[in-house]
């Protein structure tokens, strides 16, 4: 099936630890995005990538890092510099500039131990 | 100018009633207006979308009404069901070289449909 796969579904981080969230898509989309969603809140853009080997900061990039070495993959690392990482993280992709629709994965819930 | 406003923040409707969620935008460069439905613990899923050259689009019980002059659009859910209970996000998008600015979400509306 075509789609966006995020893993793991649940992730726990210890103090001072970096953790990496995986996002893989087989939709052949050029653009990929990472959003953060806090309980009862909307979506805030962390990072986005329009093409392989290129990515840009979104509205809340501090404490996060990304890479885009392959078209299919856009992993997000939550670094120890992110002091409040507990949230629901959503990965999205888009490939149709004429309609510019974003398609989402199922999300990863990150909690701090 | 990149903001999309959405109201109400939360909505409670009886089963069989009509749910109405409203959104407004400022930037006239937006040319596509999708709605997303998100169930708890899941990612948002595309529900229905409309272009500004159309005043209304209907898919089953879901209808988008679009008022280009007022820069407003709304989602109507007819015969609302408990299974419709979810958070709904409106969005606005445009073709832009900067992908970080070409898609804006509203803050969301939490809909609860009572049995």
B4-38, pLDDT tens digit by residue? 999 999 999 999 999 999 999 999 989 899 999 99
A101: confidence class by pLDDT, cuts 50, 70, 90: confident
What per-residue confidence (pLDDT) applies to B79? Answer: 98
Two tokens, residue B104: 């804006």
What per-residue confidence (pLDDT) applies to B38? Answer: 96
How many CB atoms neighbour CB A17 within 10 A? 13
Per-residue three-class SS string for chain B: CCCEEEECCEEEEECCCCEEEEEEECCCCCCEEEEEEECCCCCCEEEEEECCCCCEEEECCEEEEEECCCCEEEEEECCCCHHHCEEEEEEEECCCCCCCCCEEECCCEEEEEEC
What per-residue confidence (pLDDT) applies to B100? Answer: 67
Average pLDDT in the A2-23 region? Answer: 93
**Ranges A39-43, A51-55, A89-93: which has the least confidence:** A39-43
B36 near B106, Cβ under 8 Å? no
A19 near A78, Cβ under 8 Å? yes
What per-residue confidence (pLDDT) applies to B35? Answer: 97
Average pLDDT in the A51-74 region? Answer: 95
| Interface residues on B facing A, Cβ-Cβ cutoff 8 A | 32, 34, 36, 41-46, 49, 89, 91, 93-95, 98-100, 102-103, 105-108, 110
B29: closest CA of chain A, how far (Å):
13
How many CB atoms neighbour CB B3 within 10 A? 13
More confident residue, A73 or A14: A73
What per-residue confidence (pLDDT) applies to A100? Answer: 72
Q: Which residues of A touch B99 (CB under 8 A)?
A: 31, 33, 48, 50, 56, 94
More confident residue, A66 or B96: A66
Torsion of CA B43, A90, B5, B13, to 10 degrees: 30
Average pLDDT in the B91-102 region? Answer: 78
Nearest-by-Cβ selection for A107 from B43, B46, B94: B43
Percent of chain B with pLDDT over 70: 95
A86: closest CA of chain B, how far (Å):
14
| Mean predicted lDDT score pLDDT of chain B | 93
A3 near A26, Cβ under 8 Å? yes
What per-residue confidence (pLDDT) applies to A1? Answer: 57
Q: Which residues of B touch A58 (CB under 8 A)?
A: 100
Nearest-by-Cβ selection for A42 from B43, B98, B107: B107
By C-alpha distance, the chain A residue nearest B86 is A40
């Amino acid at each position: 099936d075509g789609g966006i796969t995020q893993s793991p579904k649940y992730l726990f981080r210890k103090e001072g630890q970096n953790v990496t969230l995986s996002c893989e898509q087989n939709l052949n989309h050029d653009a990929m995005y990472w959003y953060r969603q806090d309980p009862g809140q909307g979506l805030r853009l962390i990072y986005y990538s329009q093409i392989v080997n290129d990515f840009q900061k979104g509205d809340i990039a501090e404490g996060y890092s990304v890479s885009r070495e392959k078209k299919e993959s856009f992993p997000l690392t939550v670094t120890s510099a992110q002091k409040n990482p507990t949230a629901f993280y959503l990965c999205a992709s888009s490939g149709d500039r004429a309609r510019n629709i974003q398609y989402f994965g199922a999300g990863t819930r990150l909690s701090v131990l | 100018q990149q903001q999309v406003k959405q109201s109400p923040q939360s909505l409670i409707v009886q089963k069989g009633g009509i749910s109405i969620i409203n959104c407004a935008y400022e930037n006239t460069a937006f040319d596509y207006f999708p709605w997303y439905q998100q169930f708890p613990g899941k990612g948002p899923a595309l529900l229905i979308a409309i272009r500004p050259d159309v005043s209304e689009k209907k898919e089953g019980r879901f209808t988008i009404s679009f008022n280009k002059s007022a820069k407003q659009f709304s989602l109507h859910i007819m015969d609302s069901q408990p299974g419709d209970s979810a958070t709904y996000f409106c969005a606005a998008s445009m073709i832009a070289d900067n992908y970080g600015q070409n898609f804006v979400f509203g803050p969301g509306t939490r809909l609860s449909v009572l049995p």
